[in-house]
Structure 1
């Protein structure tokens, strides 16, 4: 489940979040009260109160404040895993989501979060910060429309030649990687530069970090 949200009613003013998101090397997590995820998906929950942490609240994250999370619809993606799946995607696959702050998008490069696509247990959950320079993409689409294509949330990318394994996941050490946009009639392939891996946890419980 992926969605955009507006944070309001913080118990700390100003809210201790970064204003320059072109260099995000930290993770923020929320710890809401228990409620039905289905109610959020079907629209019965439009906002909720939660505790905000820097770092993973399950991994000694530091409590910052209480906030209200206001859900922006439509939801970006809702994917239900199939227990019958036994093989992970091959090759390595991530979905991209635009960093929408105005400081994160220029004519020369676009900042994204990549979320690793989970298909079969145990798999791993990873969030990576990357940039794409559209000039380093090959595509049959008109160049004036390429940026709009790249900035569509939920785009799926395949990294051919890289096995979909925890040891070959994208990290800062990956630096420049080449990826193909899936489901794309324009045969778009782009070079991405990996700025940082924000977080990675191992399935099936997704508690232990990938570096354990």
Structure 2
């Protein structure tokens, strides 16, 4: 039992650094992907054909591209095109680009659940498309898709481990570092799993809270 706890205490420098980086990847990636995903969703339902086409092209290309390939492009291909980007910012960008495509489609499905009559009534009052979308449609759409949105963020949290393969020291890289130190791998994997649970459980609790709160509002 002492060896079990020593795996954590003796290697706290690696664990703390890895999970702090994972937390940064998650927070920045979540904010970025929600922002970009919302913009893409508005493009997908826009009355402007060019915007709809661009939004659809982005979503179809990224959703059918492996996340590892997005990382590889930013880390290896982008510098050859004259775009220099460090490993960690590349990880933020890759997670944002990839997750935004899925959030876009999730949010678009929520937009489609809002009754058409509400938008028509708002336009009859003189509101523009943008006002209708951001003041009436999107707030209701977000409430509708809380469970799948949280699931997307959970998936992104797990996808942060891909960054370990591109020289980013995050939670997914802890096992390799501790293997070099000769630590017990079963104990190491347990602590990594426990660390991820400390991130996942609050997300699940947040989802349940928002579902209860917004169910009353609706």
Specify if TM > 0.5: no
Q: Which has the larger radius of gyration?
A: 2
Higher relative contact order (CA 8 A, sep 6+): 2
TM-score w.r.t. structure 1 length? 0.26
TM-score w.r.t. structure 2 length? 0.25
